[in-house]
Structure 1
Amino acid sequence: MPEPTGVIHDIGYQRYTGPRLGRRHVFGALYLHGVRTTFGLGRSAKAKIFPWLVVGIVLLVAAAVTAIRSQIGEVIMTYAQFADAMSWLVIFFVAVAAPELVSRDMRSGVLPLYFSRPLPHADYPLAKLLALVTALFLLLGAPQLLMFLGGAFTADGMGAVWDELLDLLPGLLYAGLWAVVFASVGLLVASMTGKRAFAAGGIVAVFLMTTPIVGILSVLPSQAANQLAGIASPPTLVQGVGLWTMRDLLITESNTADLDLGAFGPVYALAAAALVAGCVALLLARYKKVAAR
């Protein structure tokens, strides 16, 4: 009779008997990890340099605007104008943060591990998208809160503080619009490749290389083409929605509009909604395909 060739050793492994958390906890963990990733938290010091440099710049600008206002007693930049002024920094922040959120997982091959658990294919991209939207909103909204505090402390009476708050709320909504549009476009582009450098370059190209198209359309003989030119680029599309909904807060004596919307303000709003919806739909389709592999 042949002798046994294998032996089973008991090395102390035991079955997990603790609570088994469900889909909501998995989604929450992905979301919180995503927010931390965008700011480099829990990662190396090198990964923290760029995001916190951007944070420092926007806070420094907000502090400077607040200090100048307290000295001269006049508003030199509204809350909504602040979001417009910082939009170029948001582009580069997205170009760095979005690949960190999705391209790294794709390149390292850990997506099958995520989808081997009872995790619907839509939850992964939606959690990453919500994390990027949150990070961008904090990037634009936190400095506005700093500006509000400075304005509130120098305001003359509670009525003035209330007026300041009414100016802040549209600015925060406008920051949310920037965050949703930029996060949707940026994450979709980043999800197409596992190479972070390619993803970052693609994101910058989408945002910046569409700007010349706006310039070409704006000089055509057709007035309708001129007024619809801003739809061709995500930054000018967002600015168009802002001009239509809060023109008085974006255009002041010291600031004029680069876009002439004419009667096409609602078209800009519909185009922005269609852009976000299309990006989210393509993002979900992308990860449905990945989960099916």
Structure 2
Amino acid sequence: MPEPTGVIHDIGYQRYTGPRLGRRQVFGALYLHGLRTAFGLGRSAKAKIFPWLVVGIVTVVAAGLTAVRSQIGQVVMTYAQFADAMSWLVIFFVAVAAPELVSRDLRSGVLPLYFSRPLPRADYPLAKLLALATALWLLLGAPQLVMFLGAAFTTDDGLRGVWNELLDLLPGLLYAGLWAVVFASIGLLVASLTGKRAFAAGGIVAVFLMTTPIVGTLSIMPSRAVNELAFLASPSTLVNGVGTWALGDLLVGEGGGGLPIGDFGPVYAGAAVLLVATCVVLLLARYRKVATR
């Protein structure tokens, strides 16, 4: 009878003996990866073109405003007004970034792998939402910082002038945060409904742009109350209405202006909070459903 000829080879497989990280580290890794993805970092050169083109545009605009201000000695555009002026770019940035954050994972079917780790179902969408909101805040806030540095170095009032400029900057950064949270909540919710990035991008643009005609229609109605509440119908004008109420001259300038919202400022603020809360709740519900398939 021939002897067995089988041989067991040691090819070097070893058990993992390092530290086993938990929920906090997984959430942080998802957040950082999402933030990098929003700007195309760690991906192909093609994926970097649009986000960094937007970054370049807002930075050039901020630098141009700073240069003009230093020449004429007057504020051309306040920090809050800058956020408003760049909001149309934010829409398209969201339309590109949000599908990259969630639609790709839906299409490739990798979510079961995420949820096989110590990651509660709610943490995945919340990490993605936080990453997108941070990216949008940086997109609007970093150019404001450029404007602040230019104003601080050219002021004639010394430390007092720098302090006054800082007091103008902080509300502008908060206002940029409002834009970021509202747009990120809506954009990520729409993107989570489909695994096709083109459909998700189109849906996001449609939500933001197709609601504008509704505002125009309501604003010419014969009722004054309807006119003043008309701006609730679009996310962009909703945020602008909150800014008109909360920031006053920091947004509309000393010459007045802003949206004609009357005494409904608190209503706009409450509507913005309700909109974000609703989007987050629906987003969490969406991923509870996806995770159990």
TM-score, length-scaled by structure 1: 0.96
Query: Aligned equivalents of 1:255 and 1:83: distance in 2?
Result: 18
Matches within 5 A, 1:20-59: 20-59=20-59
Query: Aligned equivalents of 2:60 and 2:100: distance in 1?
Result: 25
Query: Aligned equivalents of 1:254 and 1:54: distance in 2?
Result: 30
Q: Report how far residue 250 of structure 1 moved.
A: 1.5
Query: Aligned equivalents of 2:38 and 2:89: distance in 1?
Result: 14
Residue in structure 2 matched with residue 86 of structure 1 by the alignment: 86
Q: Report how far residue 17 of structure 1 moved.
A: 0.8
Residue in structure 1 matched with residue 170 of structure 2 by the alignment: 169
Q: Report how far residue 7 of structure 1 moved.
A: 8.4
Residue in structure 1 matched with residue 267 of structure 2 by the alignment: 267
Query: Aligned equivalents of 1:278 and 1:253: distance in 2?
Result: 35
Residue in structure 2 matched with residue 278 of structure 1 by the alignment: 278
Is the 2:249–2:256 Cα contact (8 Å) retained in structure 1? no
Residues 1:147 and 2:152 aligned together: no
Q: Report how far residue 278 of structure 1 moved.
A: 0.2
Residue in structure 2 matched with residue 127 of structure 1 by the alignment: 127
Which 10-residue stretch deviates more, 109-118 or 272-281?
109-118
Matches within 5 A, 1:139-288: 139-156=139-156, 157-252=158-253, 256-257=257-258, 259-288=259-288
Query: Aligned equivalents of 1:238 and 1:190: distance in 2?
Result: 21
Query: Aligned equivalents of 1:146 and 1:255: distance in 2?
Result: 26
**Residue type at the aligned position of 2:217:** I
Residue in structure 2 matched with residue 66 of structure 1 by the alignment: 66
**Residue type at the aligned position of 1:196:** R
Q: Percent identity at matched positions?
A: 82
**Residue type at the aligned position of 1:96:** V
Query: Aligned equivalents of 2:255 and 2:145: distance in 1?
Result: 23
Q: Deviations over 1:89-144 (max 9, x none)?
A: 00000000000000001101111100111210000000000000100000000000
Is the 2:208–2:234 Cα contact (8 Å) retained in structure 1? yes
Q: Report how far residue 76 of structure 1 moved.
A: 0.6
For this pair of structures, how many residues does the alignment match?
290
Query: Aligned equivalents of 1:12 and 1:255: distance in 2?
Result: 73
TM-align CA RMSD: 1.6
Residue in structure 1 matched with residue 112 of structure 2 by the alignment: 112
Query: Aligned equivalents of 1:10 and 1:254: distance in 2?
Result: 80
Query: Aligned equivalents of 2:32 and 2:189: distance in 1?
Result: 20
Query: Aligned equivalents of 1:101 and 1:180: distance in 2?
Result: 16
Query: Aligned equivalents of 1:190 and 1:106: distance in 2?
Result: 10
What secondary structure is seen at the aligned counterpart in 1 of 2:288?
helix
Which blocks of at least 5 consecutive residues in structure 2 are unaligned?
none
TM-score, length-scaled by structure 2: 0.96
Query: Aligned equivalents of 2:57 and 2:35: distance in 1?
Result: 19
Q: Deviations over 1:176-217 (max 9, x none)?
A: 000000000000000000000000000000000000000010
What secondary structure is seen at the aligned counterpart in 2 of 1:56?
helix
Query: Aligned equivalents of 1:246 and 1:19: distance in 2?
Result: 49
